[in-house]
């Protein structure tokens, strides 16, 4: 589906144009066309391929989707794939945006993502001095918007992790539920890592040394995106380490809890074993046993059981087993 098709000249919007008028504006000096597609059909992509002479391998990647974030050059054409990660209830939805950059055109193809780039277009149109750089600046603005959308997700996962950590030592919390929640956080961290990690290498190709012609003169802007990606990846790595540590602590609390139960059971077994031993000895019905004919033998045996159990209970309580 065609979302927008706009022509720009010398950094300023000329007009919203129809698809049939694209070729005429491409022939104007200092003019470029920015086309935005959302969940396009094969016919939509075929039309864009004919209009802008897009490389067939890049179009094939955009058609099938599910690409790793990357940047590729096809002659004067630059093709980039970014992952768009969006919240979907308690889950994260992963979409893609494929961006074709040429000397005088930008084609952005958004797939499986709800949020578009209207705010990016408005931002670019408010900065005509920068938009004079042409398609390269649009690529920077799109990349910057996608990377900036990762940051709130990382912050929300950090908050979620802190809440789980507070529950780990709560006696009312379920250790199993904590571990399940931690694994869920780890899974979402990996989704973000798979989106942000590969972009470091891709973005590094856009500043310093040889850069694509369409991105020339914008090195400091792409370096800013790279810095944001470095911080995002460092935060993701730190959170992943925290999740692993929290899982280990949760498992340790389970082991400690089982040890406490074992100690209590052993203490109660000892309290039962002492009177059982005494009663068992006197219950063997042998004729020649001490104290069988003593008048106070029975009360003595009972009190002996009580006193021994009281001593054991006091020792176990002092040792923290009860």
Q: Based on C-alpha coordinates, what's the Rg of the chain?
A: 35
Count of other CB atoms within 10 angstroms of residue 245:
12
Q: Are residues 97 and 234 in the same domain?
A: yes
Percent pLDDT > 90 in the chain is: 54
Residue 102 CA to residue 117 CA, distance in Å, equals: 19
Q: Are 133 and 211 in contact (CB under 8 A)?
A: no
**pLDDT tens-place string over residues 297-316:** 777 777 777 888 788 888 87
Cβ neighbours of residue 42 under 8 Å, at least 6 residues apart? Answer: 63
Q: Describe the strand order of the beta sheet including 105-111 as a list of residue ranges.
A: 12-16, 2-9, 31-38, 105-111, 91-101, 77-88, 70-74
Q: Are residues 240 and 279 in the same domain?
A: no
Burial 252-274 (b: 16+ CB within 10 A, else e): eeeeeeeeeeeeeeebeebbeeb
Q: Is the pLDDT of residue 289 over 70?
A: no
Q: Are residues 138 and 279 in the same domain?
A: no
Q: Are 52 and 105 in contact (CB under 8 A)?
A: yes
Residue 91 CA to residue 184 CA, distance in Å, equals: 9
Q: Are residues 238 and 309 in the same domain?
A: no
Q: Which residue has the tokens 């074992």?
A: 262
Last residue of a domain, which of 206, 236, 253?
253
Q: Are residues 148 and 272 in the same domain?
A: no
| pTM assigned to the model | 0.81
Q: Which domain holds residue 119?
A: 2-253
Q: Is the pLDDT of residue 8 over 90?
A: yes
**pLDDT tens-place string over residues 146-190:** 999 999 999 999 999 999 988 888 877 788 888 899 999 999 999
Q: Are residues 107 and 231 in the same domain?
A: yes
End-to-end CA gap in the chain:
70
**pLDDT tens-place string over residues 79-136:** 999 999 999 888 899 999 999 999 899 999 999 888 899 999 999 999 999 999 999 9
Q: Are residues 267 and 236 in the same domain?
A: no
Q: What is the CATH number of the domain that holds 136?
A: 3.30.460.20
The two structure tokens encoding residue 142: 């799109």
Count of other CB atoms within 10 angstroms of residue 64:
9
Task: Give the count of domains, the chain.
Answer: 2
The residues facing 16 across adjacent strands are 6
Number of alpha helices (DSSP H) and beta strands (DSSP E) in the chain: 9, 7
């Amino acid at each position: 589906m065609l979302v927008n098709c706009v022509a720009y000249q010398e950094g300023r919007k000329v007009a919203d144009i129809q698809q049939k008028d694209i070729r005429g504006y491409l022939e104007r000096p200092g003019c470029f066309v920015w086309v935005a597609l959302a969940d396009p059909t094969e016919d939509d992509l075929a039309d864009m391929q004919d209009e802008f002479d897009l490389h067939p391998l890049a179009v094939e990647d955009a058609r099938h989707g599910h690409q790793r974030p990357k940047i590729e050059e096809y002659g004067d054409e630059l093709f980039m794939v970014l992952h768009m990660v969006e919240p979907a209830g308690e889950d994260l939805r992963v979409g893609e945006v494929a961006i074709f950059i040429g000397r005088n055109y930008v084609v952005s193809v958004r797939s499986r993502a709800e949020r578009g780039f209207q705010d990016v277009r408005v931002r670019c149109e408010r900065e005509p001095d920068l938009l004079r750089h042409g398609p390269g600046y649009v690529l920077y603005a799109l990349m910057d918007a996608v990377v900036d959308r990762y940051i709130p997700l990382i912050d929300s996962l950090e908050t979620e992790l802190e809440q789980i950590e507070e529950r780990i030592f709560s006696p009312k919390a379920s250790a199993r539920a904590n571990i399940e929640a931690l694994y869920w956080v780890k899974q979402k961290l990996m989704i973000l890592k798979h989106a942000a990690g590969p972009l470091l290498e891709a973005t590094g190709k856009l500043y310093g040394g040889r850069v694509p012609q369409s991105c020339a003169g914008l090195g400091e802007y792409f370096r800013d995106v790279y810095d944001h990606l470095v911080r995002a990846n460092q935060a993701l790595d730190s959170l992943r380490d925290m999740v692993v540590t929290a899982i280990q602590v949760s498992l340790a609390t389970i082991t400690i809890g089982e040890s406490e139960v074992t100690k209590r059971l052993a203490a109660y077994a000892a309290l039962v074993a002492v009177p059982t031993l005494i009663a068992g000895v006197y219950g063997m019905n042998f004729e020649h046993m001490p104290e069988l004919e003593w008048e106070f033998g029975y009360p003595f045996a009972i009190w002996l059981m009580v006193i021994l159990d009281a001593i054991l209970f006091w020792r176990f309580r002092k040792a923290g087993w009860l």
